Structure 1
Amino acid sequence: MTNQKYGSDRTAFEKELMKLMVPVQGGTIELRDYVNTDKWLSSDYTLSNPGSNKKAVTWTATIEPFHVMKYPVTQQLYHFVMHEKETEPIMNNLPMAEVSWIDSISFCNQLSRMLGRTECYTITNESENTIFKKTANGFRLLSDAEWQYACKAGTAGYRYERIEQIAWYQENSGGSVHPVGQLLPNPWGLFDMIGNVWEWCWDLYDKERYGNYRVFRGGSWAEAQNNCGSTSRRKSMPDFKIDDLGFRIALTHV
């Protein structure tokens, strides 16, 4: 996906990009929270038994159909969309990292504009007031619950396969990020959901306790294996950047 290859031919670019978007059928997933369930309510789910938001609780979230990119956003794609420039060949398939939550939703908006889609986000200086337009047909981040649903891909365990077969993590990464798609995908054809880079999600972590901190998921090349799995979940400020944190994109309306 380079300027040299596509020039101003956005149709060819969009066709290639859409080949990477995997359809996810709707369904339900059981979720558990030990602090505050308000963050799940910020997205478009139906909660069957949310209970009190101040105690450990398990409930079922209903996920609507969506499309998700089979890989984390790569450096090649990020720089093409945001800067209209090529990357060094060795960087092409590395996940984009050291991007903030703000950078990630800005990328989604820019990609949407590039392809004539409606932007999903109205971005404000105070990130907790950033507006997500659910009816927009543009690109977006996965929600917290969508991410877990897509990662598990119908499986029941912490991971969908033995970790060394699916993830780059502290014990096998050699201390660095790796190109996407080198290990086995999950049952729905999604690569690098666990390990390699953490992935930003849309949701606030817990507004009452942490303000505008946002969720990221999945573990990374720098994490011990215990921290890399379908329920691995951390938080930080929306302008936080680090070299093992990236993102993945989704579409509600194709």
Structure 2
Amino acid sequence: MTDIELASIPAGAVELHDARRRLRRTVDLEPFEIGVFPVTQEQVSELLGEASADTVHPRRPAVEVSWLRAVRFCNAASEWEGLDAAYSFEGMDVTWHTDADGYRLPTEAEWEYACRAGSLTAHYGPLPDVAWTSADGVDAPQDVGGRHPNLFGLFDTLGNVWEWCWDLLDPARYGDYRVFRGGGFADEAWSVRASTRRGGAPGMHHDDLGFRVARGGFDTVDAAQGWSAALDRERAEVTGPTPPGWTPLR
């Protein structure tokens, strides 16, 4: 099996912005590990046991990967290495066992903290040096590691492909939609920023959407690294003024 290379990320803090509720919150993070690269086509093909034409480009990020498939990849990687699976399934519902030591998707707070690597600006370096974007004129994802890394040694957190996170996008408006971050090869610079949020249904897949894995278990239940089930329930409630044109989930 193609090894998954991880970087150790130190404890720290990151500020997240909830634009709809006009709230900012600081999340304190415990140390964790995260993939140096997005998961590649070769890794998905090998671990999920699927013969695929995608492996003609083994070092390109895996794309056309739904959130649900990314979660299943994490469990398969954990099983391969004899680790505790981070996720269990009941139909389409997924539960994160936060104390598990296996592979998982990063939380949104972990992802942004890891992407920024200490930077307080939109990019951790000049965008042409660190990210594949529409300015490069490419029509597909490029091999991972082709641009400069950030100060944590992570490649392609900006540009190349968007990356799934664990968190819900906005349950009050989008229900079970999950967050993806980072921008892709076809996006313009305004969209390729450390703070940009987008999302999609758990079964959705796209040609510029992939993922990277994380590891780290925590002594908590239904809460870890900036995410909690209680916060999801709170965000699902619509209170106070809403942005112009905003409508809640019906």
Instruction: Tell me the TM-score range normalised by the shorter chain.
Output: 0.7 to 0.9
Q: Distance in 2 between matches of 1:71 and 1:232?
A: 19
Deviations 1:19-43 (A, max 9, x none): x1100001111121122xxxxxxxx
- Residue 117 of structure 1 pairs with residue 102 of structure 2: no
Q: Distance in 2 between matches of 1:86 and 1:216?
A: 24
| Conserved 8 A contact 2:45-2:55 | no
Q: Match of 1:98?
A: 64
Runs (5+) with no aligned partner, structure 1: 3-15, 36-54
Could you tell me how far 1:90 is from its partner in structure 2? 4.2
Q: Distance in 1 between matches of 2:51 and 2:174?
A: 37
- Tell me: CA distance 1:88–1:148, structure 2 relative to 1, closer, same or farther (3 Å): closer
Q: Match of 1:232?
A: 196
Deviations 1:187-236 (A, max 9, x none): 11000000100000000111122110000000000111110010121011
Could you tell me how far 1:87 is from its partner in structure 2? 7.0
| Conserved 8 A contact 1:72-1:95 | yes
Could you tell me how far 1:125 is from its partner in structure 2? 2.8
TM-score (ref. length: structure 1): 0.81
- Amino acid paired to 2:86: C
| Conserved 8 A contact 2:167-2:178 | yes
| Conserved 8 A contact 1:79-1:87 | no
- Residue 67 of structure 1 pairs with residue 52 of structure 2: no
- Tell me: CA distance 1:60–1:109, structure 2 relative to 1, closer, same or farther (3 Å): same
Q: Match of 2:11?
A: 26
Matches within 5 A, 1:38-53: none
Deviations 1:115-147 (A, max 9, x none): 1111101123344xx210001111000001110
Matches within 5 A, 1:1-254: 1=1, 16-17=3-4, 20-35=5-20, 55-83=21-49, 90-127=56-93, 130-253=94-217
Q: Which runs of 4+ in 1 moved over 6 A?
A: 86-89
SS at match of 2:142: coil
| Conserved 8 A contact 1:80-1:86 | no
| Conserved 8 A contact 2:138-2:186 | no
- Amino acid paired to 1:216: F
Q: How many residues align?
A: 217
Runs (5+) with no aligned partner, structure 2: 218-250
